[in-house]
Amino acid sequence: MDLLDTLVAKGLNRELPTREEALAVLATADDDLLDVVAAAGKVRRKWFGRRVKLNYLVNLKSGLCPEDCNYCSQRLGSKAEILKYTWLKPEEAAQAATAGVAGGAKRVCLVASGRGPTDRDIDRVTDTIAAIKDADPGVEICACLGLLSDNQAERLAAAGVDAYNHNLNTSEATYGDITTTHTYADRVDTVQKAHGAGLSACSGLIAGMGETAEDLVDVVFALRELGSDSVPVNFLIPFEGTPLAKEWNLTPQHCLRILAMVRFVHPDTEVRIAGGREVHLRSLQPLGLHIANSIFLGDYLTSEGQAGQADLDMIKDAGFEVEGQGEATMPRHRSEYAEQFAGGCGTSGGCGSPADTSGAAPADGCGGHAGGACGPCGEPAQATAQASPDADDLREDLVRVRRRGAGTELAPNA
């Protein structure tokens, strides 16, 4: 296919595809799926070889959130029967993190529900980071605490946080349909605060909420412009008791097309298959490893993933290897860029404009970027170029609420 040849050539040269090319990837036929995966795989191997980075989630505070994000099982008004608990003690969180590291995780992601942290919350996280680092000084720490206020990102950086996660989730145009208690601009501001403090920006999307193909392309391009170093691609987990419980819009094939589109737009960026991998990719998960270079190990915040050992077996059987703590995730040119310009925009992966592949600093710095957020809108059939699953094909049985690990007395899945 001429399209795929063009996208591979651009990806190998760190060139941005056009919006039309990105949309065309999402519209490819199932008959061409393996060709799409193979093309994205060439780009992935160019910049990341056959390494797979493992990340491990620790839910520091579950449920009880005042925000009304329609996709979230922890939202205000959620009737999902998830675990609910307030802040874990530092030693409890460190114990959970240690299990993930022992299972092969290179990065531990500390997550807490809520609009954003108070100064006291930052103190709690600081104590937790110290406990984790005492057990394993080499582990990467990513924090995900919601909207940041002034100077909080700097405090987290001083405490040993390496990255900050705050997803844009969907296009700016549809964000108001999915959340009313904060704005798309609020999310962009938090990513920029993390950049400014020298934290690596981890920001991604959620697919499957009823968005259009144009929405998906919009948010993926916005993440490129925002300078995200790692892009988690979440597939909606339709929890019973949330407004999007009936949104089963994805097929395994279309999930792979979405991952490929993200890889072509972010050729040398860490692309992570995040929440919903087991629910929507199912038996095609190993093909996703040919596109993405990063996954979560074990369970998620409020849902169970497949067994941690099954993740490790899948990686090995697919011909990949787990990335070690001593290995750099990002290609050298991105690391050098980060070091050179850390005193300016503060990004870890470069925040140049989408068309900039030279490694030069952007003329206008980091300010003024628009971001994306989350929200269903439009006509899914037109947007995704796929038929919605029949009612008999819906797999609600795959949505399993987490009942082990952090916040419980049961051993974590790692």
3 state SS for the chain: CHHHHHHHHHHHCCCCCCHHHHHHHHCCCHHHHHHHHHHHHHHHHHHHCCEEEEEEEEEEEECCCCCCCCCCCCCCCCCCCCCCECCCCHHHHHHHHHHHHHCCCCEEEEEECCCCCCHHHHHHHHHHHHHHHHHCCCCEEEEECCCCCCCHHHHHHHHCCCEEECCCEECHHHHHHHCCCCCHHHHHHHHHHHHHCCCEEECCEEECCCCCHHHHHHHHHHHHHHCCCEEEEEECCCCCCCCCCCCCCCCHHHHHHHHHHHHHHCCCCEEEECCCHHHHHHHHHHHHCCCCCEEECCCCCCECCCCHHHHHHHHHHCCCEECCCCCCCCCHHHHHHHHHHCCCCCCCCCCCCCCCCCCCCCCCCCCCCCCCECCCCCCHHHHHCCCCCCHHHCCHHHCCECCCCCCCCCCCCC
Q: Based on the residue annotation, tell me whether 272 is a catalytic residue of this protein.
A: yes
User: Between 163 and 362, whose confidence is greater?
Assistant: 163
pLDDT per position as a tens digit, 171-212: 999 999 989 999 999 999 999 999 999 999 999 999 999 999
| Cβ pair 111, 57 in contact under 8 A | yes
For residue 380, the model assigns a pLDDT of 32
For residue 300, the model assigns a pLDDT of 84
For residue 113, the model assigns a pLDDT of 87
Asked if the structure places residue 409 within a domain, the reply is: no
Asked if the structure places residue 404 within a domain, the reply is: no
Q: What's the whole-model pTM score?
A: 0.85
pLDDT per position as a tens digit, 356-411: 333 333 323 323 323 223 332 333 333 344 555 665 566 667 787 787 778 787 88
For residue 42, the model assigns a pLDDT of 98
Query: For a pLDDT cut of 70, what percent of the chain falls above it?
Result: 85
For residue 144, the model assigns a pLDDT of 96
Query: Does the pLDDT at position 163 exceed 50?
Result: yes
Catalytic residue among 107, 272, 334, 402: 272
In whole angstroms, what is the distance from residue 257 CA to residue 233 CA? Answer: 12
User: Between 24 and 177, whose confidence is greater?
Assistant: 24
Q: Based on the residue annotation, tell me whether 72 is a catalytic residue of this protein.
A: yes
Asked if the structure places residue 216 within a domain, the reply is: yes
Q: For the residues 27-35, what does the mean pLDDT come to?
A: 98
Catalytic residue among 202, 255, 345, 377: 202
Q: For the residues 211-225, what does the mean pLDDT come to?
A: 97
Residue 391 belongs to domain with CATH number: 3.20.20.70
pLDDT per position as a tens digit, 90-109: 999 999 999 999 999 999 99
Mean pLDDT of the chain: 85
Asked if the structure places residue 266 within a domain, the reply is: yes
For residue 388, the model assigns a pLDDT of 55
Q: Based on the residue annotation, tell me whether 345 is a catalytic residue of this protein.
A: no
Catalytic residue among 51, 142, 144, 334: 142
Asked if the structure places residue 413 within a domain, the reply is: no
Give whole-number Cα distances, 110 to 145, 222, 359, 404, in Å: 8, 25, 31, 17
Catalytic residue among 51, 109, 255, 402: 109
For residue 299, the model assigns a pLDDT of 86
Q: For the residues 144-171, what does the mean pLDDT come to?
A: 96
Catalytic residue among 14, 44, 51, 69: 69
Query: Does the pLDDT at position 352 exceed 60?
Result: no
Asked if the structure places residue 241 within a domain, the reply is: yes
Query: For a pLDDT cut of 90, what percent of the chain falls above it?
Result: 67
Asked if the structure places residue 54 within a domain, the reply is: yes
Query: Does the pLDDT at position 45 exceed 50?
Result: yes
pLDDT per position as a tens digit, 262-288: 999 999 999 999 999 999 999 999 999
Give the domain extent around 182. Answer: 2-362+369-398
Instruction: Please state the domain count of the chain.
Output: 1
In whole angstroms, what is the distance from residue 413 CA to residue 300 CA? Answer: 10
Q: Based on the residue annotation, tell me whether 65 is a catalytic residue of this protein.
A: yes
Q: pLDDT-based confidence at 335, cuts 50/70/90?
A: low
